[in-house]
Structure 1
Amino acid sequence: MAENLRMMQDIAQAESYGLILGSHASGWLPSPNAISTFSFGWDGVESNTIDIPELATTLEQSFPENNLDFTLFDACMMGTAEVFYELRNATHYCIASVMETPAAGFPYNRFFTGLYESDIDYAKICNETVQYNKENRWWGTYAAVDCTAMENVAQAIKAELKEHQSELSTLDYTQIQQYGYEKYKNFSFDLLDFIKQLNGGTIPATVENSLSQAVVAKNCLNGEEYPFVTLKIDATRYCGMGMYFPGRQIKSSWDKYCQSSVAWYNAAGWNEIQP
């Protein structure tokens, strides 16, 4: 990947770049050598994959001038706090879905030329994709996130987790909007809905403000009318990104990997409240 990106920049020199990565993916989760899933990429021949921390490092090294304006993931389950935080030093904006996506991908003919604008209309990308899915009776959640603002989000979440540490062990996560289906169930919960449930139905201003700065655009389809099999997303509870709930034994291999390899784990303060 690094070599390909180097050649691309040698051939097409520019002040800034955008990157579209289209493949299979499973968000922040580790590649198959850890569990039977993959983080990003699946070439169909060698089954090559890349974990998100390695992807972030590769992008940082490939764009040392910090001029990767956006990264669009035309792939499943990349719209999580863990991914956005990991990429905070690699790309400015990230466009992704937090759930599994329709195989047809993004409708590039509806917004592609806009990606060359100095001020990209990220709301149009999300809205056009949702409209495209709606026309085809599919499903979908899409958001554009300013990854450089994820440090503030992490600090806001850290403060909430510390304040409500004693309640985490009894929090009924089955009542929180989650975005995984079948073997990915509970891999990611709506970040804002998580904090809202933790606060007994209220939303702290610090969390709301940090999210409003980070999530620059979002849209999704009503899951009752446009479900993904049995997974039905409540559009009123979709904040633009998901977050895993470590320490509740949802899946021990996920907990172990999150603790050892995902930067968000420490940034959000999970390491300070886990036994």
Structure 2
Amino acid sequence: MLSLVGHGGGWSPNLLGEQPSGHDEKPDNTRFFGSFLFDRKPGSGMSTRELALVLDRLAQERGKKIDLIYFDACLMGMLEVLYDLRDSVRYALASESTSWTAFRYDLHIENLFAEPRLDADEIGRKWISNELAELGG
């Protein structure tokens, strides 16, 4: 399982520079089209295409796809983003809109250690079940 945590922009232009911020420097909005994991340094982050290329290479080197990727970032569950990852990732857990809560990693990691033989599909399902329980639904 790979978990990527940070700000996300999905496939849309990087509008992070338009957001209110306590930082003097703003990201360069012209560099990325579809990006995430923005840094405090202007122009730094990763495009969704760059991520796909890295994960494709990793999958080729490993001889198999990544079982599960989790984006703890807004807008990364869009079909346009996930389509780029189809050759390198089996399952994805992400929000297609803005995330309004952060997942409870402590619960999920505890479950992984309690049931180490879970496959990626089962891990994803338990992750969602835990979150629904946390939210009272």
Q: TM-score, normalised by structure 2?
A: 0.71
Gaps of 5+ in 2: 15-28
- 1:24 and 2:37 matched: no
Structure 1's 55 and 90: CA in aligned 2 closer, same or farther, altered over 3 A? same
In 2: Cα distance, 1:92 partner to 1:113 partner: 23
Contact 1:30 1:51 in 2 (8 A): no
Q: Which runs of 5+ in 1 are unaligned?
A: 1-17, 136-220, 222-275
Aligned to 1:101: 99
Runs of 4 or more above 6 Å deviation: none
The 5 A counterparts of 1:136-215 are none
Distance in 1 (CA, whole Å) between partners of 2:52 and 2:46 is 10
1:223-248, CA deviations, whole angstroms, 9 ceiling, x for partnerless residues?
Answer: xxxxxxxxxxxxxxxxxxxxxxxxxx
Count residues in correspondence: 116
Paired with 1:129 and 1:85, the residues of 2 have a C-alpha distance of: 25
Distance 1:30 1:117 in 2: 40
Percent of pairs with identical residues: 28
In the alignment, what sits opposite 1:81? 79
Q: Counterpart of 2:2 in structure 1: which amino acid?
A: L
- CA pair 113-48 structure 1, distance change in 2 beyond 3 A: same
Deviations 1:122-154 (A, max 9, x none): 22211222333x26xxxxxxxxxxxxxxxxxxx
Once the two structures are superposed, residues 216-274 of structure 1 have per-residue CA deviations (whole angstroms, 9 ceiling, x without a partner) of xxxxx7xxxxxxxxxxxxxxxxxxxxxxxxxxxxxxxxxxxxxxxxxxxxxxxxxxxxx
Change (3 A) 1:68 1:113: farther
- Match for residue 25 of structure 2? none
Choose which of 45, 50, 55 in structure 2 pairs with 1:54: 50
Structure 1 position 38, deviation (Å): 5.8
Q: CA distance change for structure 1 residues 124 and 45 in 2, over 3 Å: closer, same or farther?
A: same
Deviates more, 1:74-83 or 1:37-46: 37-46
Q: Please point out which of 125, 128, 152 is paired with 2:127.
A: 125
Separation in structure 2 between the aligned mates of residue 130 and residue 60 of structure 1, nearest angstrom: 32
When Rg is computed on C-alpha atoms for both structures, the one with the higher figure is: 1
Offset, 1:113: 4.0
Residues 38 and 56 of structure 1: CA distance in aligned 2, closer, same or farther (over 3 Å) = closer
Q: Partners in 2 of 1:47 and 1:101 — Cα distance?
A: 23
| Contact persistence 1:60–1:66 (CA under 8 A) | no
Query: Contact (CA 8 Å) 1:38, 1:49: kept in 2 or not?
Result: no
- Deviation, 1:57, is 0.8
More helix by share: 1
**Counterpart check, 1:71 vs 2:54:** no
* Local SS of the residue matching 1:100: coil
AA partner of residue 28 (structure 1): W
Partners in 2 of 1:113 and 1:28 — Cα distance? 33
Question: CA 1:22–1:125 in 2, change beyond 3 Å: closer, same or farther?
Answer: same
> What is the one-letter code of the residue matched to 2:5?
G
Highest RCO, 1 vs 2 (Cα 8 Å, sep ≥ 6): 2
